[in-house]
């Protein structure tokens, strides 16, 4: 059995089919241990570090950072028995060739060499590729000249046999050519002015229609070929007025006209977390009929309760934010209205009501929006809930949220208030029936006990699946969340 083992990209959970290599934690030649993290991979759900399945020495890395790899494809080769001696440099997993086998290899001569892989050309290993029953070709391969273009050598053989009659010249009227708009010639264009120009037929037709001389252009395509963009830029430059006439002078110099092309555009690949988020949002928006309701709440008492909470000994070493009270309000309101915490099952034609709350908290990360959730949050104490919220946010910002933390959510909260936004109409995560948007808390004039006073006010936005949650249920749920935030201490005494 080979001592070289190829480590393939594993399935990181829930049917993921590919992952992007963010960075390697080892390099070729490093000695690694069992379960040592060797590579960081971003899937459609999170960035995770993958440990090594074997101990040994890294002999090959198949894909560089930034490459998207399918699940099951090899990503690294490991020598599991480095003490057995050195390995061949070209194929570490194969034995070294013998001297007799190397001596039997016939090396093709340089003269008359053709492209590797063609009949008569050198094959891999230095041999000459031939068909069965035929010997090697003795002449060099030549490319057929293009139709209508002069040959490269003035002494080349004529295209027709010597006995062929010369072609009869046409005596009919010759149409006058279209006027040619010449772009400014360049040094490269001058060199090839007498030779053929690489361009596709549609590009040649476009140049003819626009009156552009292809010989005057420097191609930006493969092998220096002229592209459609090259022709269009030349036509625009030829037809544009002089800069001195159109541009306004600034400090004695003309301002170049604005251009709108690919050089002023940025293209961001859609992959990883952002790709999955987009797919989920489209699926949710066009599957579940969304309804959104809003409620503006005076949260002055909540802010005062929060300040008193921070002074208690059990909360001195933990960060406490208004989101903690919003999460507690949601958990208590779910107990009063369990249908809000449910899922529509089209496969079984059922509404599945959950007796547990996996509370999702939307988090904005560098790789896109993710919604990790706190498992069974309804059973946590207020201190445990605060610890879980802080841990969830810290892990999400580091980009290390495991896929298991982003699956199985039943109700979500999106805190748009941290961005100074009043509220919004959030889209439901797939499989959930409601999501709450928590807006910014602002000092505002408010009628309090019959007088206008400055109070701390916020706006809540509740989106829900109208197949499960009707207007009455959604309104009662939102009312109860708002009532808790208006007087959290009174709600805790009367609801629990």
Report the C-alpha gap between 230 and 215 in whole angstroms.
12
What's the CA gap between 212 and 261, in Å, rounded? Answer: 20
Reported as a single tens digit per residue, the pLDDT across 84-99 is 777 665 454 444 444 5
Angle at 398 between CA 392 and CA 401, to 5 degrees: 50
| Confidence check: pLDDT of 193 > 50 | no
Instruction: Give the mean pLDDT of 372-378.
Output: 95
Phi, psi values for residue 247, rounded to 5°: -80, 150
Contact between 380 and 346 under an 8 Å Cβ cutoff? The reply is: no
Mean pLDDT, range 439-458, rounded to an integer: 96
What is d(CA 257, CA 234) in angstroms, rounded to the nearest whole number? 15
- In a 10 Å sphere around its CB, with 0-12 CB exposed, 13-18 middle and 19+ buried, how is residue 345 labelled? exposed
Q: DSSP 3-state assignment of 8? A: strand
Q: Where in the chain is the domain with CATH 4.10.320.10?
A: 182-232
Could you tell me where in the chain the CATH 2.40.50.100 domains are found? 4-88
Burial readout 397-435 (b: 16 or more C-beta within 10 A, e: otherwise):
eebebebebbeebbbbbbbbbeeeebbbebbbbebbbbb
pTM: 0.57
Is 55:33 a contact under the CB 8 Å cutoff? yes
Sign of CA pseudo-dihedral 282, 284, 286, 290: negative
Q: Specify the pairing of strand 350-353 against strand 342-345.
A: antiparallel
What confidence tier does 58 reach under pLDDT thresholds 50, 70, 90?
Answer: very high
CB 409 within 8 A of CB 358: yes
For the segment(s) 182-232, the CATH number from 1.10.340.30, 3.30.2270.10, 4.10.320.10, 2.60.40.10 is 4.10.320.10
Q: Tell me the backbone φ, ψ of residue 8, rounded to 5 degrees.
A: -95, 155
Using an 8 Å Cβ cutoff, are 249 and 305 in contact? Answer: no
Q: What rounded mean pLDDT belongs to the chain?
A: 78
Q: Which residues pair with 458 in a beta bridge?
A: 297
pLDDT for position 241: 57
* Contact yes or no for 331/359 (Cβ under 8 A): yes
Three-class SS state of 203: helix
- Statement: 4-88 belongs to CATH 2.40.50.100: yes
Q: Tens digits of per-residue pLDDT, 297-319?
A: 999 999 999 999 999 998 988 99
What span, in angstroms and rounded, lies between the C-alpha atoms of 360 and 427? 13
**What's the CATH number for 289-495?**
3.30.559.10
Q: What are phi and psi of 281, to 5 degrees?
A: -65, -40
- Out of 63, 290, 337, 466, the active site residue is 466
Instruction: Grade residue 415 by pLDDT with cuts at 50, 70 and 90.
Output: very high
* 3-class secondary structure, 460: strand
Do the bridges between strand 411-415 and strand 359-361 make them parallel or antiparallel, or are there none, so unpaired?
Answer: parallel
| pLDDT per residue as tens digits for the range 16-53 | 678 888 889 999 989 999 888 899 888 766 678 888 88
Which among 138, 236, 135, 237 has a CA at the least distance from the CA of 184? 237
Q: Is 86 exposed, middle or buried (0-12, 13-18, 19+ CB in 10 A)?
A: exposed
CB 363 within 8 A of CB 396: yes
Write down the pLDDT at residue 45. 61
pLDDT at 332 over 90: yes
Task: Provide the pLDDT for residue 335.
Answer: 95
Beta bridge partners of residue 237, listed in sequence order: none
What is d(CA 217, CA 205) in angstroms, rounded to the nearest whole number?
Answer: 15
Told to judge if 215 belongs to the known catalytic residues of this protein, a careful annotator would answer no
């Amino acid at each position: 059995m080979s001592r070289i083992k190829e480590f393939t990209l594993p399935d990181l959970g829930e049917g993921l089919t590919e992952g992007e290599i963010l960075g390697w934690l080892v390099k070729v030649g490093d000695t690694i241990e069992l379960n040592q993290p060797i590579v960081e991979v971003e899937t459609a759900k999170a960035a995770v570090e993958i440990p090594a399945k074997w101990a040994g020495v890294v002999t090959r890395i198949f894909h560089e950072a930034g490459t998207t790899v399918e699940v099951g494809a090899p990503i690294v080769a490991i020598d599991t028995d480095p003490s057995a001696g050195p390995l061949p440099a070209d194929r570490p997993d194969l034995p070294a060739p013998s001297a007799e086998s190397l001596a039997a290899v016939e090396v093709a001569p340089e003269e008359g060499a053709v492209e590797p892989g063609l009949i008569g050309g050198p094959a891999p290993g230095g041999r000459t590729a031939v068909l069965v029953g035929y010997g090697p070709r003795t002449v060099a391969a030549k490319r057929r000249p293009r139709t209508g273009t002069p040959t490269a050598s003035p002494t080349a053989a004529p295209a027709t046999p010597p006995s062929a009659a010369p072609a009869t010249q046409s005596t009919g009227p010759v149409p006058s050519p279209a006027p040619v708009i010449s772009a400014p010639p360049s040094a490269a264009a001058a060199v090839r002015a007498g030779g053929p120009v690489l361009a596709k037929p549609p590009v040649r037709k476009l140049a003819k229609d626009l009156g552009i001389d292809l010989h005057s252009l420097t191609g930006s395509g493969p092998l220096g070929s002229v592209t459609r963009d090259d022709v269009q830029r030349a036509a625009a430059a030829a037809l544009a007025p002089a800069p001195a006439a159109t541009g306004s002078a600034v400090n004695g110099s003309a301002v170049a006209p604005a251009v709108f092309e690919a050089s002023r555009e940025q293209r961001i690949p859609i992959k990883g977390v952002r790709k999955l988020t987009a797919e989920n949002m489209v699926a949710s928006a066009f599957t579940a009929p969304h309804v959104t309701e809003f409620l503006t709440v005076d949260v002055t008492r909540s802010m005062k309760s929060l300040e008193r909470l921070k002074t208690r000994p059990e909360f001195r070493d933990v960060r406490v934010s208004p989101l903690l009270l919003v999460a507690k309000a949601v958990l208590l309101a779910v107990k009063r209205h369990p249908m809000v915490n449910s899922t529509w099952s089209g496969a079984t034609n059922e509404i599945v009501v959950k007796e547990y709350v996996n509370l999702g908290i939307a988090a904005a990360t560098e790789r896109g929006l993710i919604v990790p959730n706190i498992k069974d949050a309804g059973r946590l104490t207020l201190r445990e809930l605060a610890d879980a919220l802080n841990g969830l946010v810290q892990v999400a910002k580091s980009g290390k949220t495991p896929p298991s933390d982003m699956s199985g959510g039943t109700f979500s909260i999106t805190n748009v208030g941290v961005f100074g936004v009043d509220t919004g109409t959030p889209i439901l995560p797939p499989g959930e029936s409601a999501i709450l948007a928590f807006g910014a808390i602002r000092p505002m004039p408010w009628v309090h006990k019959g007088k206008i006073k400055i109070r701390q006010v916020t706006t809540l936005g509740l989106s829900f699946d109208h197949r499960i949650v009707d207007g009455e249920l959604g309104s009662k749920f939102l009312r109860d969340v708002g009532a808790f935030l208006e007087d959290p201490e009174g709600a805790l005494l009367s609801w629990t």
